[in-house]
Structure 1
């Protein structure tokens, strides 16, 4: 699986999916699946994605399509950039056309509402027999695509595949680390979104940096306790997937979850906020599931 020769299919043309596809273009032939033909045409013709990444020019080499079967059948690696609430439906469709043993990389930082499963678990159910990895970390899409220095984590318990994926996603401005702890990396990605909503609420209510620092620090402790109970390595939560992603999401106005919290703190209703956003704030949907998991595993 040499990274210069493989073909990568990124499923989902939101801000992060488009960014990952744009970055991967430097290392492999990359194609991006957009649900709407109009968006695929814009990416191909204008090299822009005005819905999610306005003012950014995409690589001319990046090819987009709305034909899911076409993109999946020819891909040597599949990257699932689909929000958690629609993940299983799309994963089931992808599975119909996926060649055996093709690695699947998930980007979604959420839990399935009814089952409380992480996205790697949903992937395993819908695409059995495929190596499954998670790409996570403090990765705000607009900063990554603009070339600002950053780091990410690819989590999979197969060292050889981890190193190949590391080479695939890395570029001069993005350093990619590997971690065998899939559970810890995913739990961190889920829970930090919930904490970011709380951090935003504190800001919206007019509280200062002491309050936010307290929320982040105690939130990290809660995240680590839950992650350990679910089988994660506590060291993961002190790294990029845990503390790193938590700081970025709680501190940045680019964070959808932080924005939701701030607007809640300012007095808007959750329905008003969600209906006005064109991107998914995973923490809104994950909150009930995280509370249920914490109750089930007796974590405060």
Structure 2
């Protein structure tokens, strides 16, 4: 089988490595020719995933048509804000029988589309599938045990893709709730920024536990309004992804939050990180959605004020802690899914 991985960042490269080691022929695309040449010469991605040598089945290329044509599966692994342009660029190359798998996490600015909606709008004859979950590229590349979720409209195709991606160290579950899977992956980045800010301020484990727990509550609240099954957020793409992103130094969102909590300006933080911090744009989008649907999201609103209104993080913490008293358990949810074909 031939598989195209479009995007040679850390996650795209880790997935290319995983699939190549299973014996698949993997085309690894990046737009810059000099970057591709460097990977070919050095036999690894020294910028985004250093120390992980390429399998012989990986073929780096900057030719987008070559990376797509004749591939049974095409994986979209560019940052979320680049998904629409990428789909527009491959529209003339993809065919209806190809499986499009998105692994980026985010919500499109202004349209508020989930990324699967963006893909389906541009590639209207392809059903898109989503691979998401707690999966740092660095650990996947080292073959450390990892579990993720594949979601899409057709159960049989999800189970087919489950088999394609699964290894002894990379366990893939299926989940019919694509809305919840996508929103969990996108919105947890906001809470991870908050966790980093908490660490940067010098707060302790109690603070982070509270932030994560109430964070998943407001993610679930918005998710339900947008059509997700709230129980999905108790799984790998909700709590699971939230835990790993809020606690690991592999997390760009947490690292960015730490610097913000220590008083660094956002522009300097992004320069130091050197890669896309998805939580920055996700915060703005979620803040606007919370206003649109009158959804109570105090943590998201607080992080928005830190990022976009230059408010002092300590003042935001005080505002959140002194809100009017609430009940913790807002609702009881069914444990069953319905209507998945």
TM range, smaller chain = over 0.9
Alignment RMSD, CA only? 1.1
Correspondence for 1:223: 219
Alignment pair present for 1:21 and 2:19: no
Aligned to 2:4: 9
Structure 1 unaligned segments of length 5 or more: list them: 1-5
Structure 1 residue 31 corresponds to structure 2 residue 27: yes
* 1:113-153 deviations in Å (ceiling 9; x for gaps): 12121110110111001011111000011011001111011
Q: Secondary structure of 2:56's match?
A: coil
1:145 corresponds to which of 141, 163, 171: 141
SS of the residue aligned with 1:98?
Answer: coil
- Tell me the equivalent position of 2:201: 205
Please show how residues 73-88 of structure 1 align to structure 2 within 5 Å.
73-88=69-84
Normalising by structure 1, we get a TM-score of 0.96
* Distance in 1 between residues matched to 2:69 and 2:271, nearest whole Å: 35
Task: Say if 2:191 and 2:211, in contact at 8 Å, map to a contact too.
Answer: yes
* Aligned match of 1:242: 238
Residue 30 (structure 1) shift: 1.4
Q: Quote the Cα distance in structure 2 between the aligned partners of 1:43 and 1:60.
A: 13
Distance 1:195 1:60 in 2: 39
Q: Alpha-carbon deviations, 1:219-275, whole Å to 9, x = none? A: 011111111111111121001010000000000011000011000000001111112
Give yes or no for contact 2:23–2:57 (8 Å, CA) kept in 1: no
Runs of at least 5 residues in structure 2 that lack an aligned partner in the other structure: 297-341
Confirm or deny: 8 A CA contact 2:65 2:93 kept in the other structure: yes
Contact 1:139 1:152 in 2 (8 A): yes
Deviation readout 1:75-126 (Å, 9 max, x if unpaired):
1111000111222111100112111231211111111112121110110111
For residue 48 of structure 2, the aligned residue among 47, 52, 77 is: 52
Instruction: Tell me the secondary structure at the aligned position of residue 54 of structure 1.
Output: strand
Structure 1 segment 1-300 matched on structure 2, within 5 A: 6-25=1-20, 26-300=22-296
Instruction: Tell me, in whole angstroms, the C-alpha distance in 1 between the residues paired with 2:50 and 2:13.
Output: 12
Deviation of 1:210 after TM superposition, in Å, equals 0.2
Is the 2:91–2:123 Cα contact (8 Å) retained in structure 1?
Answer: yes
Q: Which runs of 4+ in 1 moved over 6 A?
A: none
TM-score, length-scaled by structure 2: 0.84
